Homo-oligomer: A and B are copies of this chain.
Amino acid sequence: MKYCEGKTFCFRKPSVLSYAAVVGKAENEGPYGGEFDEVVEDNKGGEDTWEQSESLFQNKAVGHVLRKADLTPDKIDLLVAGDLLNQCVGSTYGLKEFYIPYLGIYGACSTFAEGLLLSAALVNAGYVDTAIASTSSHFSTAERQFRFPLNYGGVRTPTAQWTATAAGAALVGSSGKPPFIRAATVGKIQDMGINDLNNMGAAMAGAAYDTLSRHFKHRASHPEDYDLIITGDLGQVGSDLLYDLFSRDGVDIQKYHKDCGLMIYDRDKQDVHAGGSGCGCSASMMCGHFFKRVQSGELKRILYCATGALMSPTVVQQGGSIPGIAHCVEITAE
């Protein structure tokens, strides 16, 4: 069977006009604490349920984006959003009050890259002037949905990752100022045969390798052409697998690589096992940390490759595997 190479989308005008991250207490106690726009200290943020709390995080993130851009919701042409919850309720309920045209997406933890990619493509083509990419995740909603309700007190395995309680949102338009979104490659579903709900890094590494390889090829670029290659939440297990896959092609990616899942928590002091995960993990790291550094020119050219484990507890209980996907977005200061 011949495989489709796909196309890397190239953009001329889109840039990120404003961005914001809202995180929980544990995320703010990590190495990047203090870089986020708002910290919600209480797991529920004053809401009755965890799901409502996750919606609140995403609502707040988009609110900060609008405030920082000094725009009201009626000036935004499009929202592109999704999350990990069943039927993406973090996004639906968090964003419904804005009454902005809404495209729901599902890419598991790759959602923020998919949202940026689509926002940039639609702005660049002139369909909309402004679009917000938004996502969220929450430790307590994700554990209940994908593994066990927290009240069970289940023991976590060494390969398990900790779903970040966090939301990130970015407004894409064309201001002529950095950070610019220059190119993007859509991922393919890759099934590595992993069927352990606590080993998502391994399920996603192959997808990251495939998307990054195609992006390098289509852009005629190499890892050393980027200041950083940032993956979403491969964690330790997935990152090691990614290095191994690239090393077979004689490519050393480790030198330029950072993984948001390995950055967001202090793994020596915080008990997060193989690292952070969740849509909000890389979204909050991009919106709290990385976009600023591209905007200031400290980073000139980065590649953001968010990875997602397209897993369903129903299918895993039926003995099925967990396919992965990864979308990548190239962001530059010039």
Which A residues have a C-beta under 8 Å from some C-beta of B?
Answer: 1-7, 9, 48-49, 51-52, 72-78, 82, 85-89, 92-93, 95-96, 98-108, 114, 118, 121-122, 124-125, 127-128, 145, 185-191, 310-315, 318, 320, 323, 325
Are A125 and B125 neighbours in the complex by a CB distance under 8 Å?
A: yes
User: When the two chains form the complex, which single residue of B77, B93, B96, B190 contacts A7, counting CB atoms closer than 8 Å?
Assistant: B77
- 18 A-B residue pairs with Cβ-Cβ distance under 8 Å, sorted by A, are A1-B73, A3-B74, A4-B73, A49-B318, A92-B310, A92-B323, A95-B189, A96-B189, A96-B323, A101-B186, A102-B188, A103-B105, A104-B105, A104-B325, A106-B106, A121-B122, A124-B125, A125-B125
Are B3 and A99 neighbours in the complex by a CB distance under 8 Å?
A: yes
Residues of chain B contacted by A311 (CB below 8 angstroms): 87
Are A75 and B315 neighbours in the complex by a CB distance under 8 Å?
A: no
User: When the two chains form the complex, which single residue of B75, B125, B186 contacts A103, counting CB atoms closer than 8 Å?
Assistant: B186
Known: A4-B74, A89-B315, A102-B188. 12 other contacts (CB 8 A): A1-B73, A3-B99, A4-B73, A49-B318, A78-B186, A85-B312, A92-B312, A93-B323, A102-B186, A102-B325, A104-B114, A118-B118
User: When the two chains form the complex, which single residue of B76, B87, B187, B312 contacts A4, counting CB atoms closer than 8 Å?
Assistant: B76
Are B108 and A107 neighbours in the complex by a CB distance under 8 Å?
A: no
Q: How far is the CB of A12 from the nearest CB of chain B, in Å?
A: 12
Report copies per complex: 2
Residues of chain B contacted by A51 (CB below 8 angstroms): 312, 314-315, 318, 320
Are B78 and A6 neighbours in the complex by a CB distance under 8 Å?
A: yes
Question: In the complex, A227→B35 CA distance in Å?
Answer: 55
Question: In the complex, A320→B93 CA distance in Å?
Answer: 9
User: When the two chains form the complex, which single residue of B3, B101, B103, B325 contacts A118, counting CB atoms closer than 8 Å?
Assistant: B103
Are B1 and A127 neighbours in the complex by a CB distance under 8 Å?
A: no
What are the 7 tightest A-B residue pairs by CB atom distance, in nearest-first order? Answer: A125-B125, A6-B101, A101-B186, A2-B74, A87-B312, A104-B106, A96-B189
For A78, give the chain B residue with the smallest CB separation: B186
Question: In the complex, A248→B9 CA distance in Å?
Answer: 45
Question: In the complex, A27→B310 CA distance in Å?
Answer: 30
Residues of chain B contacted by A86 (CB below 8 angstroms): 86-87, 312-314
User: When the two chains form the complex, which single residue of B96, B105, B106 contacts A87, counting CB atoms closer than 8 Å?
Assistant: B106
Residues of chain B contacted by A101 (CB below 8 angstroms): 4, 6-7, 185-188
Residues of chain B contacted by A315 (CB below 8 angstroms): 51, 87, 89, 93
Question: In the complex, A33→B200 CA distance in Å?
Answer: 43
Residues of chain B contacted by A320 (CB below 8 angstroms): 51, 89, 93
Question: In the complex, A117→B190 CA distance in Å?
Answer: 25
Q: How far is the CB of A144 from the nearest CB of chain B, in Å?
A: 8
Question: In the complex, A99→B2 CA distance in Å?
Answer: 9
For A184, give the chain B residue with the smallest CB separation: B127
Residues of chain B contacted by A122 (CB below 8 angstroms): 121
Question: In the complex, A189→B87 CA distance in Å?
Answer: 13
